A and B are shown apart, each in its own frame.
Chain A
Amino acid sequence: MEDSAGLSGPDTSTETPQPGVSASAGFPKGNQPGGAAVPAAPLPKSERRRKPRISQTPPPPPSPPRLEDYEPIIGRPQLDELRFLAKALQNKTAKMVNSTAVGGGVAEMLNRLVPLLNELEVNTRWEVMTGGNDFFEVTKAFHNALHGGEYTLTKSAQDVFLLTGEQNRQRMKFEEDLVIIHDPQPLGLIHSKQDHAKQGAGRWIWRCHIDLSNPHPDVWGFLRPMVEKFDAAIFSSPEFTKRLPIPQYLLFPCIDPLSEKNKELDESYVQKVCDDFGVDRSRPIVTQISRFDRLKDPVGVIQAYKMAKKYVDCQLVLAGGGASDDPEGAVVLQEVYDAVGDDPDVIVLNLPPWSGLEINALQRASTLIVQKSLKEGFGLTVTEALWKSKPTIAGAVGGIPTQVIDKLTGVLVQSVEGCAYQIRYLLTHPEFAQQLGNNGREHVRENFLMTSNVRRWLILFRILLGLT
């Protein structure tokens, strides 16, 4: 699973907006990427903008929602379905294992999933494997190689991977009815399955959150025998799978409708965020939320906006993170500033990772959402936009077409020109745009909410334990 907003980086300074590029939350003076000079020409509109106000430190995490909290969103009968599905599992136990307790989409998802399963009386523990820097360097390299990157698999990397798995295996106990291993890092724990099976119990599931469609052959060749020992594997998209001799299931990544990024907001708060960031709500707002990464094509979005703006009035908001802790992100951010030039209607916001509420408000204030990615995992920012009933224009890559059914729940584009045309079309055909948005919300309600995810886990548990 990915970080849905793609936000990262602790930079929280609140500078006066950069002339010519509007507000730039968290972009300290004198630290522009690449050291490039900022155009000095005064721009009245941007000068009128107030300082963005983002807290300097992360707020304490809110307590996870209870099942009942979802009733207004999915209805009582759906909650009853979850309870029915869980009933047969009430004396069963499950263990989730991943490699990090905080940060990243998997931990974010487990933070919500585990309490909900426990509330349904499916006794679920979450354990995090430990490892040294050498282990995480190896697993990061494996991660990139499994996505198709170049890599030379050494004996020493294999030893580090296996040794750390073995150390964790000795530390952990596997007595549960179901063991769920997330991603490749803890794959070595599968060697405990044999002992577990001797006790007559234990079904093992590998939940793969990454795209395995084009893995480095040596790395996949090393990991594959471990994967084949599981009872089932789960992927986020059929396109991300490999042919395996074990059953493979599909679990879509999901969003939590009660999280800060997705919960309903007071209109006054949405207005305040727009005021703070200098977004004019009396005019159309086109927004892309994503980290400053070339694969998200922010410069392509600016080009599309400029082409569309010859015909329709609009503002462009590019909000995300990744420019503060990632050297490449800073370079991309500078490319964005260069592409913006002196257009006062483009608002570039480099936000810290705890800006969920602000992102939520910007999405809700938007007329259209764009996610013009060139490569994508599942694209949870698209899910977030659809959930807010926003007409969405997105690149036809990765998991996006699963969410954006062209002309039905949004529109798919393949080029800057296509994106520009769709911005023009949707801004001038608001009824059609709203129909797309409404369909998109229902698509998410049916398929990509945390509660749908819980339902699918319960079904899988029942199938693997023969309780259907």
Chain B
Amino acid sequence: MNPEIANPQARAPFHFNSAAHLLRIGRERAANLAEFRDALHLCPEESIFQHTFRTLQEHHFIRQGFSNDFAHWAFADCNEAGLGERLASVDIRSFTSIADLRQRLLQIVNDYLQSHPQSAGRAARKPFYFCASDTVVVPTALVAQSLREFAAGLSQVTIHSIHHHFIEARLRLKLQSNDFSVWLDEDLGLAKLGTRINRIDIYTSTLEGVRQQIVQIVKSAIH
């Protein structure tokens, strides 16, 4: 048994929330990579958020091969496997601001078009439509005051709640962390446990798989 952890009581409870989203169709659209670059530059931050952070939630059941909408479009509709691969390698968890994420995406597209200028004007099989989402935060009745209650709550909440706390949270927190890890650290003094959870790879697992890994880590700490 880890001496650091039994089942301590938190200084403040963890309230499980979730989020419900509605897709809004944006004004920008791109029929080729040059237009895509321009739209990527001009589109609202909500669109970058939608096609990177949110799309992971919409496709949470896919274990491998889906990273973000931009990469998927470059690969599937522009037939630009190299660009698709580079865009797919962008780990959204490295970013705590959408502005930085946009810059990184633009840099990849610009670099690619510099080395592949003939690709800029080639028509895509179908256009990319920039969307955004309007969000309503949904509180749940689940509250955790201890690790046991935390594990129980994690097992019961929706996948949307896991996404809200584990993935979207870093934009709210402006930290390369998540709500779960921050709570474990700040309210239970379990920084190492929080770090272990924060290292879970969201790109090689479904969100359900992510949930199970978090629960497993928390449960292993209790016993």
Query: Is A313 an interface residue when CB atoms closer than 8 A count as contact?
Result: no
Nearest CB of chain A from residue B217's CB, rounded to whole Å: 21
Do A81 and B158 touch across chains, with their CB atoms under 8 A apart? yes
A81 cross-chain contacts in B, Cβ below 8 A: 18, 20, 138, 140, 158, 160
Give per-residue flags for A407-418: 1 if the beta carbon is below 8 A from chain B beta carbons, else 0.
111000000000
Q: Which of A40-48, A98-106, A116-124, A441-449 contacts B (4 or more CB under 8 A)?
A: A441-449
Do A75 and B158 touch across chains, with their CB atoms under 8 A apart? yes
Question: Count of A-B contacts with CB under 8 A?
Answer: 81
Query: Is B2 an interface residue when CB atoms closer than 8 A count as contact?
Result: no
B129 cross-chain contacts in A, Cβ below 8 A: 238-239
Question: With contacts A84-B139, A85-B138, A463-B134 known, is A408 near B66, CB below 8 A?
Answer: yes
Query: Is A401 an interface residue when CB atoms closer than 8 A count as contact?
Result: yes
Nearest CB of chain A from residue B211's CB, rounded to whole Å: 12
- The residue in chain B whose Cβ has the minimal distance to the Cβ of A460 is B22
Nearest CB of chain B from residue A396's CB, rounded to whole Å: 8
Q: Considering the chains assembled together, what is the distance between the CA atoms of A463 and B29 in angstroms?
A: 24
Query: Which chain A residues numbered 215 to 251 have a C-beta less than 8 Å away from chain B?
Result: 235, 238-239, 241, 243, 247-250
Do A250 and B24 touch across chains, with their CB atoms under 8 A apart? yes
Do B76 and A406 touch across chains, with their CB atoms under 8 A apart? yes
Give per-residue flags for A421-456: 1 if the beta carbon is below 8 A from chain B beta carbons, else 0.
000000000000000000100110011000000011
Do A405 and B58 touch across chains, with their CB atoms under 8 A apart? no
- The residue in chain A whose Cβ has the minimal distance to the Cβ of B137 is A468
B156 cross-chain contacts in A, Cβ below 8 A: 77
Do B138 and A249 touch across chains, with their CB atoms under 8 A apart? no
Do A447 and B58 touch across chains, with their CB atoms under 8 A apart? yes
- The residue in chain B whose Cβ has the minimal distance to the Cβ of A409 is B62
A248 cross-chain contacts in B, Cβ below 8 A: 24-25
From the candidates B20, B24, B61, name the one contacting A439 in the complex (CB within 8 A).
B61
Give per-residue flags for B129-143: 1 if the beta carbon is below 8 A from chain A beta carbons, else 0.
101001110111100
A109 cross-chain contacts in B, Cβ below 8 A: none
Question: With contacts A238-B131, A405-B66, A443-B59 known, is A249 near B25, CB below 8 A?
Answer: yes
Query: Is A325 an interface residue when CB atoms closer than 8 A count as contact?
Result: no
Query: Is A459 an interface residue when CB atoms closer than 8 A count as contact?
Result: yes
Query: Which chain B residues numbered 127 to 173 have a C-beta less than 8 Å away from chain A?
Result: 127, 129, 131, 134-136, 138-141, 156-158, 160-161
B61 cross-chain contacts in A, Cβ below 8 A: 439, 442-443, 446
Do B138 and A239 touch across chains, with their CB atoms under 8 A apart? no
- The residue in chain B whose Cβ has the minimal distance to the Cβ of A80 is B140
Kindly state the interface size class of chain B when it binds its partner: 35 or more
Do A459 and B20 touch across chains, with their CB atoms under 8 A apart? yes
B18 cross-chain contacts in A, Cβ below 8 A: 77, 81
Query: Is B93 an interface residue when CB atoms closer than 8 A count as contact?
Result: no
Nearest CB of chain A from residue B157's CB, rounded to whole Å: 6
Q: Considering the chains assembled together, what is the distance between the CA atoms of A439 and B22 in angstroms?
A: 22
Query: Is B27 an interface residue when CB atoms closer than 8 A count as contact?
Result: yes
Query: Is A462 an interface residue when CB atoms closer than 8 A count as contact?
Result: yes
Query: Is A78 an interface residue when CB atoms closer than 8 A count as contact?
Result: yes
Q: Considering the chains assembled together, what is the distance between the CA atoms of A447 and B29 in angstroms?
A: 22
- The residue in chain B whose Cβ has the minimal distance to the Cβ of A75 is B158
Do A238 and B136 touch across chains, with their CB atoms under 8 A apart? no
- The residue in chain B whose Cβ has the minimal distance to the Cβ of A452 is B20
B72 cross-chain contacts in A, Cβ below 8 A: 405
Question: With contacts A235-B25, A446-B61 known, is A77 near B134, CB below 8 A?
Answer: no
Do B21 and A459 touch across chains, with their CB atoms under 8 A apart? yes
Query: Is B65 an interface residue when CB atoms closer than 8 A count as contact?
Result: yes
Nearest CB of chain A from residue B35's CB, rounded to whole Å: 15
- The residue in chain B whose Cβ has the minimal distance to the Cβ of A232 is B24
B76 cross-chain contacts in A, Cβ below 8 A: 406
Do B136 and A77 touch across chains, with their CB atoms under 8 A apart? no
Which one of B23, B24, B25, B157 has the greatest number of beta carbons of chain A within 10 Å? B25
Q: Considering the chains assembled together, what is the distance between the CA atoms of A446 and B135 in angstroms?
A: 16
Q: Considering the chains assembled together, what is the distance between the CA atoms of A248 and B60 in angstroms?
A: 25
B140 cross-chain contacts in A, Cβ below 8 A: 77, 80-81
Question: With contacts A77-B156, A85-B136, A446-B58 known, is A238 near B25, CB below 8 A?
Answer: yes
Query: Is B104 an interface residue when CB atoms closer than 8 A count as contact?
Result: no
Query: Is B126 an interface residue when CB atoms closer than 8 A count as contact?
Result: yes
Do B25 and A455 touch across chains, with their CB atoms under 8 A apart? no
- The residue in chain A whose Cβ has the minimal distance to the Cβ of B22 is A459
Do A408 and B62 touch across chains, with their CB atoms under 8 A apart? yes
Q: Considering the chains assembled together, what is the distance between the CA atoms of A447 and B24 in angstroms?
A: 15
Q: Considering the chains assembled together, what is the distance between the CA atoms of A81 and B18 in angstroms?
A: 8
Q: Considering the chains assembled together, what is the distance between the CA atoms of A419 and B164 in angstroms?
A: 39
A463 cross-chain contacts in B, Cβ below 8 A: 22, 134
A84 cross-chain contacts in B, Cβ below 8 A: 138-139
Do A401 and B126 touch across chains, with their CB atoms under 8 A apart? yes
B27 cross-chain contacts in A, Cβ below 8 A: 243
Do A408 and B65 touch across chains, with their CB atoms under 8 A apart? yes
B127 cross-chain contacts in A, Cβ below 8 A: 239
10 contacts between A and B (CB under 8 A): A77-B18, A77-B156, A81-B140, A85-B138, A247-B24, A248-B25, A405-B66, A407-B65, A459-B21, A463-B134
Q: Which 7 A-B pairs have the closest CB atoms?
A: A442-B61, A238-B129, A250-B23, A459-B22, A248-B25, A77-B158, A238-B25
Residues of B bordering A, CB below 8 Å: 18, 20-25, 27, 29, 58-62, 65-66, 72, 76, 125-127, 129, 131, 134-136, 138-141, 156-158, 160-161
Told that A239-B129, A396-B125 touch, could you supply 5 new A-B pairs with CB distance under 8 A? Answer: A80-B140, A239-B126, A405-B59, A459-B21, A462-B136
